Structure 1
Amino acid sequence: MAPQREWLEKDFYKDLGVASDASSDEIRKSYRKLARELHPDANPNDSAAEDRFKRVSEAHSVLSDPEKRKEYDETRAAFAGGRFRGGSGFGGGGTTYTSGGGGDFNIGDLFGNAGAGDAGGGLGDLFGDLFGGGGGRGSRPSTSTSRPRRGNDLESETTLSFRDAALGTTVSLALTSPSPCTKCHGSGAKPGTSPRVCPTCNGSGFVSRNQGAFGFSEPCQDCQGTGSRIDDPCDDCSGSGVLVRTRTINVRVPAGVEDGQRIRLAGQGEAGMRGAPSGDLYVVVHVRPDKIFTRTGNDLKVQLPLTISEMVLGATISVPTLDGTVGVKIPANTSDGRTLRVRGRGVPKRSGGAGDLLVTVKVAVPPKLDDEAVEAMKKYAEAEKASGFDPRAGWGA
């Protein structure tokens, strides 16, 4: 069954406790707060909290996706107040009625009934877009298009060291969420049996009823809109095909991941009902700052403290990298703040190769000198002055 049918009965904004015009950040913050409060680990044996946790997860999976949220808002707006519950079209098909104003109108014209020169459009196309009906026109969806609802997407978080994020790593995450029942393998039926087509709706998942001149469709009550009946439900999951359990998954974090980036694991989210596809898992990566390194894109940046003599006379200094050290030659008379580039020793790129290592030199002044060093510095200062060097020449002019 198309998810839009179920949306008519649900208020996702109310479930998350946010306004209908809430920003993405407000939706995400509210979800994380509620998910922590309602998580099954924090509320053992509390079925009410578990049910609310599922509703909050489903609401977030829709409202956090811009396309799904737009579709949800349009569906709710078009069918405000639930006046057309699960509607799949009207059965007037070309019949002419008389309006209160005395003029004639054709139901087929109003709802986009195909005819000579019909270019599509009309409310029939809107219904088709909303409920997956073939071309609108008020036709019933076929049995082949009905299927159990896909599981909700889930979101988790992990925190990595700077080096693990730059080089890539594998982390283990423990998730407590609805997962396929291991006894019936998600079918909902007792092992050795299978679900059968619902005889009431013939597997379509909905039934039609007439109200005056109009025909309406609504979810089949006998199969709860799934299109199938289970005569012998699984003892473990009571026929749902889903159990809330804790599982551990290994997540491969690619090299070069940045703070706040999301990694998508297809099919690792919440299990779908009765064998329907699982949702996806999104892992938000947080990166701890490093004492030595920072980065800009794929370039690795480091500050290198040098003595005055090393900067004046030049030197070769061993500089740390992500996977060892590299010797960096400091030219004589290097000025404070100069940046030297070492090719290919930065953060690995997904396309191959790596960024550069950017080494910025910074003069380090000793906190204290002994008498011999002080005398040497005095002699150096005199020689510096005698050479005519003036660091402030033209400064402030």
Structure 2
Amino acid sequence: MRDPYSVLGVTKGADSAAIKSAYRKLAKKYHPDQNPDDPKAKERFAEVSSAYDIVGDDEKRRAFDRGEIDAEGNPTMAGFNPFGGGGRSRAQGGANPAFEDLFATFTQGRGPNYRSAGFSSGGGSAEDILKSMFGGGGPDMGGMGGAGMGADPRMGGAGMGGPGMGGAGMGGQARRQPRPAKGDDIKATARVTLEEVLAGDKVQVSLPGQGAVKIALPEGVEDGQTIRLKGKGKASATGGKLGDALVTVKYASHPSFKTDGSTLLMELPVTLDEAVLGARISVETLDGKVALTLPENAQSGRTMRLKERGLPTKGGKRGDLLIKVLIKLPEEGDEALAALMKRWRTDGRYTVR
């Protein structure tokens, strides 16, 4: 990262109020919620947040100015020379001079206010500022942790350092600074027609706080399926990655079809004569009209299948269209039909019970 002072547009001698004011302006300007269609704004926002994390904290700022940490907050080796001189201090029990020189090198230049427990954020942290402007927030990033130099009882001295220097001391274990937390996910619903599902169209969906965006329907998308849009969620209060948008697909109701997975279901009303004598009937499908042959003596409730006239599947194929035959009689009655049925009843040619 660049020098944090130049990132925030302030001088090295700027006071904390000026630094905080500069950060507020830049964070508001580049916040991803204000720039949903500008990916560069997200990068700039993260850079501004990282810069303020360094110079917006008094202890981190002093450490950076002394060259003890870099612009990323990682410890440097500035001023460390394991073979150099420096003031001498004698450990209890009389350690040898070589160790005294090494001990002095580690301890020289540390004032009485030096803390080994890590840098801590004040009340004007980036997280606090973002909360005041946008709400929400994220977990505390904590201090720059690391293990200090362990004690050796044979030398009669106590261990040095602590968890606050961000790197591994001699005889200790390293502990890395935790990554910034990712922003929260958001949820939305996309209502789509069966024709849009068949065509794999792009559909419009409204994302909370971001307005309308268009998304492409994947092949074989199912009713109730969730589509994840990376980086379309809320911003992180700690400069981490943006959250995601979770879009649930819902099929809109259709006047002719019902769905069962990739299978389409429909009812086909036919007249009594069509059912008895058979007929060639035009049937509406998602692909347009097709001719269906209704066989003679078709029973009401019979199901006929049109192969691959349903919805797409993930394997690149299509489901079927199932057509249920329903015999419909005249709504207001028909004298000729009634006379025919009376003769039919008298003849008693067949029974169903």
Structure 2 length-normalised TM? 0.50
**Greater gyration radius:** 2
Q: Which structure features the higher share of strand residues?
A: 1
Structure 1 length-normalised TM? 0.45
